[in-house]
Amino acid sequence: MMDTPLLLTSFLKRAERYYPEKQIISRTSPTMTHRIPYKDYVKRTRKLADALTKLGMKHGTKVGSFAWNHHRHLEAYFAVPCAGAILHMINIRLAPEHIIYVINHAEDEIILIDGDLFPLFEKAIPYLKTVKHIIVMQDDFNVPESTFENVYSYEQLLADASEDFEFPEDLDENTPAGMCYTSATTGMPKGVVYTHRSLVLHSITLGLADTLGLCEKDTIMPVVPMFHVNAWGMPFAAVNFGTTQVLPGPMFTPAILLDLIEQEKVTTTAGVPTIWLGVLQEQEKNPRDLSSLRGIVCGGSASPKGLIRAFEQKLGIPFIVGYGMTETSPVVSLSNYTTAMEDLDYENKLNIRATQGLTVPLIESEVVNENGPVPWDGTTMGELRLRGPWIAKEYYKDERTSEAFRDGWLYTGDIAVLTTDGYIKITDRTKDLIKSGGEWISSVDLENALMTHPAVFEAAVIAIPHEKWQERPLACVVLKEGANATKEELIDSLEGQFAKWWLPDDVVFLNEIPKTSVGKFLKAKLRDELKGYELKI
Amino acid sequence: MMDTPLLLTSFLKRAERYYPEKQIISRTSPTMTHRIPYKDYVKRTRKLADALTKLGMKHGTKVGSFAWNHHRHLEAYFAVPCAGAILHMINIRLAPEHIIYVINHAEDEIILIDGDLFPLFEKAIPYLKTVKHIIVMQDDFNVPESTFENVYSYEQLLADASEDFEFPEDLDENTPAGMCYTSATTGMPKGVVYTHRSLVLHSITLGLADTLGLCEKDTIMPVVPMFHVNAWGMPFAAVNFGTTQVLPGPMFTPAILLDLIEQEKVTTTAGVPTIWLGVLQEQEKNPRDLSSLRGIVCGGSASPKGLIRAFEQKLGIPFIVGYGMTETSPVVSLSNYTTAMEDLDYENKLNIRATQGLTVPLIESEVVNENGPVPWDGTTMGELRLRGPWIAKEYYKDERTSEAFRDGWLYTGDIAVLTTDGYIKITDRTKDLIKSGGEWISSVDLENALMTHPAVFEAAVIAIPHEKWQERPLACVVLKEGANATKEELIDSLEGQFAKWWLPDDVVFLNEIPKTSVGKFLKAKLRDELKGYELKI
């Protein structure tokens, strides 16, 4: 067989050749919606590659992006790797010292940055050691004032560039294409490098009828940021399949997302649970026509059953939970139903939907404890480990590699059980698990149950040190606007669902749960804030 | 990223792990239907690998199969390559001297053969130079009498083998996994070797929502033989997706196929046009419930529009035309509709369906003539050339490689045009094209038009040498049972559809069109038989 390399370039050529009129729709500012057909998108991508090459981009050069979801960011998604360089998608929500760290650690030479993010970024500039050029992405040719010398207008560079730039077709498929850093809960972020091969295989998998079935007929809106694990790989896949893309741009709100779904007839969208909690609240207040939606994909942290039920039962929209990490490109599993599950009643189906789902083809997963792989019983906990062609084998130039990558597996640090169908159900992070009297209590299970209570908006459960039991669970709850519930009511609501010794010893009411830059509960911070809290019930 | 190889073994492990209860249903004889769940199928596959290993199968050993579509053949599909050996799927319809040639040329050491095919095969045995063992596949433990010493019962070997056989997981993904020989129109058959990588990528592609969307919910019936280009890759893909498989076994008829569709609720099936012509006739006489079918895939030769229309309009079953060759694993293109086509009227949609379709992801196609790639105008003809990760780069140990494989492309020998949407439309084989007065006439276009005539069952158009025009078209027609039509009526029916000089100069009525072992019109034979025919109209 021909040794044709698996390259992202083939996606770009496919969109150009077969889907020239399909659209990329970007909300580039609160008042602007920008539309571009793929044929012009590919021309601009070639121009960007030409412009970057003229600025010194070579094979292996790291180009950082610091941007929202829009067509320019999508141009960088292909222009940089298809030219043989590496796109470093910088998480704009990192703390300033982390932003400085990741750029210096990756050795980015060129930064592509949104105009509205420039003020946030500028303070970091004096500390950047390798950056030679900064390119400002906005609708006009202006560049902000800066003490940094080489600041360019993205649109000016493109205006001066050639659309005849030819991407090399002889790259090795293992050539690095992109990189992201994980937001570590302690220490500096850890870098993960994606290759053409891993991104191509991951993208193709998103088109399988048994995963997301992403296809030409779809209109996809990745709400998950493009600076967060390749926006779950969707922009890459969408270019390959000629899928219409709706990119929601900067500072969107639930109302903006709902308007985009209604106006652009979005068929599939993806984001973290907190996004969908907000969207649900807004939709209940001010309903839009969501009949175009064939599914919502939700990942990043556990989806409360109440959230899934509301979307599926009230709004009639399939709500598919997925699992993945920066280290896994990210899609590892999805909570789709198999044939045998189709006839279950809704409560049983909901139990399946709320898991992290079935491992996708080409990826191998195992849940292991000290006795080896755990039985498929839905109760025996172990650590989830993964391997496959889009699972990282290391952190980029980082001594912490050996903590997570052992024996040919990625140890995820997630505690899981396997259901009787082999679906993965994450019960906790290794670090968040509550160890009470030698037994394990899943903080996530308790949180999910609390979040089905009608008065609860968000809930996080953390371990509080305990003299007798070593650790005991404490529930941290944010009530819905105007809702009321007592500690006792909340704990009572959990009875019958869990063994008695699992029930939280106390509840604290908070105005919000601290979150990571990607919307996950920051339990380390909660534990820190509540250190020394005395359990009262 | 991990350098996890792409191996068929991952498919087998997936079926075993996630789809243990899904079924493989085989018609093993005219009276037997055999059902086996994947969990037992995988056990038997391990046993087969163990048994073959005990007989001396090593990495790289060629194991020939000479068999219909059934679960034992499917066991060989995985047991042989997953153990690092190579399954040579021998076309049972080859002429005896070709069967001897391919086995000797491939250097098969072990042959897996169906009991009912043994008499056909036995005459070849004295001429086989490398075969050490013959294993007879049938429901019982019997073996036929033979002068060949090492003849074994498949079921006996499995009964004596271990189900704990472990497939190696460290094979290089470019390890050869299978081979097929093309039935060349002249000379000996030419061998094509498939690798684990090529078969994995091809299989995954069959699951894309934009190709066949093969998935767990499907029940697939490959009518295309498993000795013919991997049964178009469907058995491999189905194991990966946990798809229910219906394998129609030996000597099936249209009635048997229709019964299987009805009884087993087949959702997708695939075969050559002659199969579907027969099925259509039978369904019109004696209708079955075909409501489970979501699509028929048709390839191998051009599908007459009348056939497509009958399935789509009368029976309500989408009829998707595909294109591929032994050299291409085989799926290259499929005539699915894009969003923009959904609103066309049926006649325009039919024109699209009847093309060979849109090239699938990861494969690159071009139609080139002496001026380079042809425009997308639907009329300019050129030769179709292909490249991609499941396109062969050579014929196995064959000097004819350089005829077809040049400049990194496979030259298909098929003459095609590209529609305005970029869909491939095969107009002829290079060798069948009619060159009249310096212009090209497509024999296939004329045949397709003739086959829409209500009296015509089959039609082939061939070139007859002509003094003035060099070549002129002659139509060879088989009328439907009981139907009547004159030469003049048939030629008149083509007027208006083609330029006047395209119309056949004459029509001969035949009882049947000679066909290749895989059901394609054997025009070389027709030309031979009609050599010296004097055009009379």
Contact A339/B at CB under 8 A: yes
Helix (H) / strand (E) element for A462: namely strand A456-466
Residue A537 in this model has a pLDDT that exceeds 60: no
Give the residue from chain A lying closest to B406, CA to CA. A2
pLDDT of res. A95: 85
The amino acid sitting at A185 is T
- Percentage of chain A surpassing pLDDT 90? 83
Higher pLDDT, residue A418 or B496: A418
Residues of B in contact with A14 (CB under 8 A): 361
Q: Which residue intervals of B393-468 are DSSP H helices? A: 401-404, 443-450
Q: Which residue intervals of B207-245 are DSSP H helices? A: 234-241
Are the Cβ atoms of A1 and B197 closer than 8 angstroms?
yes
Question: Is A502 annotated as catalytic?
Answer: no
How far is it, in rounded angstroms, from Cα B348 to Cα B309? 12
Q: Quick: pLDDT tens for A89-142.
A: 999 988 899 999 999 999 999 999 999 999 989 999 999 999 999 999 999 999
Nearest chain B Cα distance for residue A518, angstroms = 23
From chain B residues 343-372, the ones with a CB under 8 A of any chain A CB are 358-359, 361-362, 364
| Total H helices, total E strands in chain A | 16, 27
Q: What residues pair up with A24 in beta bridges, in sequence order?
A: A36, A245
Q: Quick: pLDDT tens for A447-496.
A: 989 998 999 999 999 999 888 888 899 999 999 999 999 999 999 999 98
Q: Quick: pLDDT tens for A296-309.
A: 999 988 888 999 99
Residues of B in contact with A361 (CB under 8 A): 10-11, 14, 204, 207, 240-241
Helix (H) / strand (E) element for A352: namely helix A346-353
Question: Is A435 annotated as catalytic?
Answer: yes
Q: Which of A182, A267, A355, A516 is catalytic?
A: A182
Residue with tokens 């960088």: A76
Residue B186 in this model has a pLDDT that exceeds 90: no
Contact A197/B at CB under 8 A: yes
Phi, psi angle pair for A474, to nearest 5°: -125, 130
Higher pLDDT, residue A274 or A367: A367
Residues of A in contact with B333 (CB under 8 A): none
Residue B131 in this model has a pLDDT that exceeds 60: yes
Just list the catalytic residues of B: 182, 327, 435, 440
Question: Is A440 annotated as catalytic?
Answer: yes
Q: Cβ(B111)–Cβ(B131) under 8 Å? A: yes
Side-chain half-sphere CA neighbours of B55 within 13 A: 30
How far is it, in rounded angstroms, from Cα A17 to Cα A29? 30
Terminal CA-CA length for chain A? 69
| Total H helices, total E strands in chain B | 16, 27
Residue A60 in this model has a pLDDT that exceeds 80: yes
pLDDT of res. B248: 97
* pLDDT grade for B430, boundaries at 50, 70 and 90: confident
Mean pLDDT of the region A499-528: 87
* pLDDT grade for B437, boundaries at 50, 70 and 90: confident
Q: Quick: pLDDT tens for B187-219.
A: 899 999 999 999 999 999 999 999 999 999 999
Pairing of strands A86-89, B133-137: unpaired
Residues of B in contact with A4 (CB under 8 A): 362, 387-389, 391
Helix or strand or coil: residue A122?
A: helix
Mean pLDDT of the region B40-57: 98
Residues of B in contact with A410 (CB under 8 A): 2
Tokens of B55: 């007989």
Residue A41 in this model has a pLDDT that exceeds 70: yes
Tokens of B53: 């290993």
Length of chain B: 537
Q: Cβ(B317)–Cβ(B311) under 8 Å? A: yes
How far is it, in rounded angstroms, from Cα B242 to Cα B235? 10
Helix or strand or coil: residue A186?
A: coil
Q: What residues pair up with B33 in beta bridges, in sequence order?
A: B27
* pLDDT grade for B259, boundaries at 50, 70 and 90: very high
Give the residue from chain A lying closest to B342, CA to CA. A217
The alpha carbon of residue A397 and the mean position of all alpha carbons in its chain are separated, in whole angstroms, by: 23
Residue B444 in this model has a pLDDT that exceeds 70: yes
Nearest chain B Cα distance for residue A358, angstroms = 8
Are the Cβ atoms of A1 and B207 closer than 8 angstroms?
no
Neighbours of B400 (CB within 10 A): 13
* pLDDT grade for A393, boundaries at 50, 70 and 90: very high
Nearest-CB residue to B17 (from A19, A200, A422): A422
Nearest-CB residue to B209 (from A197, A213, A387): A213
Can you give B315-365 as a three-state secondary structure string?
A: CCCCEEEEECCHHHCCCCEECCCCHHHCCCCHHHHHHHHCCCEEECCCCEE
Sign of CA dihedral A272, A278, A280, A286: negative
Are the Cβ atoms of A208 and B210 closer than 8 angstroms?
no
Residues of A in contact with B19 (CB under 8 A): 338
* pLDDT grade for A437, boundaries at 50, 70 and 90: confident
Residue A179 in this model has a pLDDT that exceeds 70: yes
How far is it, in rounded angstroms, from Cα A419 to Cα B184? 52
CA proximity to A234, closest of A270, A264, A183 = A270
pLDDT of res. B16: 97
How far is it, in rounded angstroms, from Cα B353 to Cα B337? 8
pLDDT of res. A159: 98
Residue A184 in this model has a pLDDT that exceeds 70: no
Terminal CA-CA length for chain B? 69
Q: Which of A155, A282, A312, A327 is catalytic?
A: A327
From chain B residues 404-463, the ones with a CB under 8 A of any chain A CB are 408, 410, 421-422
Nearest-CB residue to A389 (from B1, B241, B361): B1
Q: Which of A58, A129, A393, A435 is catalytic?
A: A435
pLDDT of res. A431: 83
How far is it, in rounded angstroms, from Cα B178 to Cα B199? 9
DSSP states along A261-284: HHHHT--EEEE-HHHHHHHHHHHH
CA proximity to B310, closest of B452, B425, B423, B446 = B452
Residue with tokens 């970029």: B422
The amino acid sitting at B177 is A
Residues of A in contact with B421 (CB under 8 A): 18
Give the residue from chain A lying closest to B20, CA to CA. A421
Helix or strand or coil: residue B97?
A: helix
pTM: 0.91
Mean pLDDT of the region B55-73: 98
Nearest-CB residue to B361 (from A14, A392, A410): A14
**Cis, peptide link before residue A375, omega less than 30° from 0:** no
Sign of CA dihedral A64, A67, A69, A74: negative
From chain A residues 460-499, the ones with a CB under 8 A of any chain B CB are none
Q: Quick: pLDDT tens for B308-358.
A: 999 999 999 999 999 999 999 999 999 999 999 999 999 999 999 999 999
Residues of B in contact with A193 (CB under 8 A): 1
Q: Which value, in Å, is the radius of gyration of the alpha carbons in chain B?
A: 23
What DSSP state is assigned to residue A366? Answer: E
Residue B129 in this model has a pLDDT that exceeds 70: yes
CA proximity to B206, closest of B408, B365, B446, B11 = B11
